[in-house]
Amino acid sequence: MPVDIAVSQSDAELTAALRELASDAPVEELYRRHRTAVLSYARRCCRDPHTAEDLVSEAFARTLQAVRSGGGPEAAWRPYLRTVVRRIAVDWAGTARRTELSADFEHWLANLPDTPQTEGGEERILRLEDTSIVLRAFRSLPERWQAVLWHTVVEEEPATQVGPLLGVGASGVGSLASRAREGLREAYLAAHAESASLSEECRHYGSLLGAVVRRTGCRPNKDLDRHLAQCAHCRSALIDLTDLNQRLGSALPAGSCCGAAQRTWRPNGRRPRERR
24-67 pLDDT per residue, tens: 889 999 999 999 999 999 999 999 999 999 999 999 999 999 99
| Angle subtended by helix axes 25-45 and 11-20, to nearest 10 | 110
Q: What was the pLDDT predicted at 46?
A: 95
Phi-psi category of residue 156: left, alpha or beta, with phi > 0 → left and psi -120 to 50 → alpha = left
φ, ψ for residue 114, nearest 5 deg: -60, 145
Q: What was the pLDDT predicted at 107?
A: 85
* Mean pLDDT in residue range 131-135: 70
* Mean pLDDT in residue range 178-188: 87
Smallest Cα–Cα separation from 241: which of 201, 203, 214?
A: 214
Residue 72: count other Cβ atoms within 10 Å of its Cβ: 21
* Mean pLDDT in residue range 92-107: 91
117 vs 65, more confident: 65
Q: What was the pLDDT predicted at 169?
A: 93
Q: What was the pLDDT predicted at 133?
A: 75
- pTM exceeding the 0.95 threshold for the entire prediction: no
239-274 pLDDT per residue, tens: 877 777 666 666 664 433 343 333 333 333 434 444
